[in-house]
Amino acid sequence: MPAFVYMMRCADNSLYTGWTNNLEQRIKKHEAGTGAKYTHAKKAVALVYYEELADKSAALKREYAIKQLSKDGKEALVRNFKENKKSL
């Protein structure tokens, strides 16, 4: 079963990274503020990056790698993603 790694831009401009088997459902939960523990400033407001992977194991490894990136590294990943114009 495919799995997705994604990044959401939060209201405070930070990036939240996670993984899921159902990206559309996860986005709806984040937009409703129920996808994770949120404060008003941390509420996810926009999907800015996603990547489809073969399975949960691959998604967890990729999520970990993204979380280890610096803020600049994450922003570069988002810019590259936008330049390639991927969409749901």
Cα four-point dihedral sign 23, 35, 44, 78: negative
Which residue blocks in 1-88 are alpha helix, DSSP H?
Answer: 23-32, 56-67, 71-83
Contact 1, 55 (CB under 8 A): yes
pLDDT band at 2 (very low <50, low <70, confident <90, very high): very high
pLDDT digits (tens, 9 = 90+) for 28-46: 887 777 766 665 557 777 8
Contact 51, 62 (CB under 8 A): yes
Name the pTM for this structure. 0.84
Q: Which domains does the chain have, with CATH numbers?
A: 3-83 (3.40.1440.10)
pLDDT digits (tens, 9 = 90+) for 49-58: 999 999 999 9
Is 84 a residue whose pLDDT tops 90? no
SS3 71: helix
